[in-house]
Amino acid sequence: MQTLLLSALVGPFVLSAVLAAIGAGDRRVVGWIVGIGRAISVSAAFALVAFAMGGPPKPLGTARLFRVDALSALVACCVAVVGAIGLSFGPGAPGSVHDTPAMRRVFQAYGNVFVLAMLLAVTVNSVALMWVAIEATTIASALLVPLHRSKASVEASWKYLLIGSVGIALAFAGTVLAYFDFVTITGLRQTALGWPLLMDKAPALDPGLLRLAFVFLLVGYGTKAGLAPMHTWLPDAHSEAPAPLSAMMSGVLLAVAQYAILRWKAVVDSTPGGAAFTSQVLLAIGLFSLLIGALSLVRQRSYKRLLAYSSVEHSGLICLGFAFGPAGVFASLLHMINHALAKSSSFLLAGRILGRYGSTEIADVRGLMRTMPATGTLFAAGVMALMGLPPFGLFVSEFLLFRAGFLSGHIWETGVALVIAGIGFVGLASHLLRMLYGTPPDGVVSGERDTWALVPIVVSVAALVVLGLFLPHAVTTLLGRIVEGMPG
């Protein structure tokens, strides 16, 4: 049954990519096929979550290439939901009348490959195939950054590709180090790259070599996660990329990279003294990312770059949670869900604002609540959620995260993180207020268009409110099962 669900999860994205690549059929008919396929994929993701909560994971597929446990199911569900929404807003979607046929084909083909690669990264049973899938996300998304061709977008794409490739090369070096340590000590070659066996044999591996490997892996996958100081590709790529791509990259690609970091953290934590080492490293890089993200928020002039630096800040917070023990991991995973919903919605709304005002400069956007009342209200809700305000879910996850920091004995680190988060709060609030109110620039038309497109965003904001008011039993059970699977 799980194999069938996994096929239903990834199959529609394969079909959509092929249909877009060959430019097949009537656009309306293809649109219905793709839409139904995405609904099937999202349904399969939720069904996999239900299976993951029901018992221990089993290898899937004829060659046992796949394995879906609670952590895989959680991230895969986030990817399927945000991917389906993001692709529905891009070129080729209803209402995208200004996009050329070539742009529609490119976006839908590579966009579906991008989502497919993220789904594979979190469901494959092998550390090597996970690395390959994450590398594939870099290639597919880098091709989409310059969809609206300009000198700045091409430069941003190359910068993203080069820095991302360096990062993924470092992750490869860390993987190879861990592999040779495993093979040298256990003598097992055929199954050396599978997660279950690696976790089983981890206590016998060389702690020093694994720690060195973790540093490479953290820097490598941390580059994809937008952790400072490897984050420099992120603001440029997001400021030039189409809004739906930014929604997917910031909403769930960062989560996929954090998934890889958490998997490897579990391996290193199984060795003597490993947990203390990973905690110290994650604390350092988490605090630094939080600081860089928060300070950069204050001085931003572009609202797309503002959202990008907010991702650096939240990625740092998630890393901090990983360092705060089991309660911190619980809070970080909840934060990952909330961030995926809030950031993807905010970027999609930023695309609507750009379409109306024709500028990404904060100074050029005034009177948003008058010109686009529904978009402005939802954008305010998304940014307020990112600020950590109630009644949104990020308030709860940040509260649980800082609480875990204090309870785990990291008093000073948590206190410093709170002060830095306050700086980011002020930065986001001041920019948001400048955009919402004031006199709209001359020539900017008032009124909403394509209001149907706001429906998925309304649902996302509603989900954020629900997660802020109470934690559903299914969510706490799923996150609890993930935490139980982590080394003590």
Q: Identify the band that residue 58 occupies on the pLDDT scale cut at 50, 70 and 90.
A: low
Q: 303-333 burial, b if ≥16 CB within 10 A, otherwise e?
A: bbbbbbbbbbbbbbbbbbbbbbbbbbbbbbb
Per-residue pLDDT of 1-17, as tens digits, reads 767 777 777 777 877 77
pLDDT at 341: 94
Residue 473's closest CA among 49, 18, 83, 188?
49
Residue recorded with tokens 């609904």:
39
Upper half-sphere CA count for residue 327 (Cβ side, 13 Å): 14
Cα separation, 39 vs 390, in Å, equals: 31
**Residues 6 or more apart in contact with residue 400 via CB below 8 angstroms:** 327, 330, 331, 334
Q: With residue 59 as reference, give the H or E element that holds it.
A: strand 59-60
Token pair, residue 249, equals 């990259």
Cα separation, 380 vs 433, in Å, equals: 9
Peptide bond into 391 cis (omega under 30): yes
**Residues 6 or more apart in contact with residue 346 via CB below 8 angstroms:** 307, 379, 382, 383, 386
Residue recorded with tokens 């090597």:
128
pLDDT at 446: 83
Q: Identify the band that residue 420 occupies on the pLDDT scale cut at 50, 70 and 90.
A: very high
Q: With residue 60 as reference, give the H or E element that holds it.
A: strand 59-60
Cα separation, 273 vs 68, in Å, equals: 28
What are all long-range contacts of 405-414, with beta carbons under 8 Å and residues at least 24 apart? Answer: 405/320, 405/324, 405/328, 407/327, 408/324, 408/325, 408/327, 408/328, 410/283, 410/323, 410/324, 413/283, 413/287, 413/320, 414/320, 414/324
Q: Across all residues in the chain, what is the average pLDDT?
A: 87
- pLDDT of 25 over the 70 cut: no
pLDDT at 484: 87
Residue recorded with tokens 């989502």:
115
Span 308-317, mean pLDDT?
94
Cα separation, 437 vs 73, in Å, equals: 41
Least reliable range by pLDDT among 85-99, 292-306, 326-340? 85-99
Span 136-144, mean pLDDT?
90
Q: Could you give the C-alpha distances from 124 to 31, 117, 194, 350, in angstroms and in order?
A: 29, 10, 9, 34
Span 468-480, mean pLDDT?
90
Q: With residue 66 as reference, give the H or E element that holds it.
A: strand 66-67
Three-state DSSP class for residue 302: strand
pLDDT at 337: 94
Per-residue pLDDT of 168-210, as tens digits, reads 899 999 998 888 888 877 776 666 577 878 888 888 888 888 8
Token pair, residue 326, equals 């089991």
Span 275-295, mean pLDDT?
94
Burial of residue 78 (CB within 10 Å: 0-12, 13-18, 19+) is buried
Range with the largest mean pLDDT of 5-19, 83-97, 446-460? 446-460
- Tally DSSP H helices, then E strands, for the chain: 20, 2
Cα separation, 455 vs 453, in Å, equals: 6
Q: Identify the band that residue 94 occupies on the pLDDT scale cut at 50, 70 and 90.
A: low
DSSP per residue over 208-249, as a string?
HHHHHHHHHHHHHHHHHHT-TTS-THHHHHHHHS-HHHHHHI
Span 37-49, mean pLDDT?
86
pLDDT at 206: 84
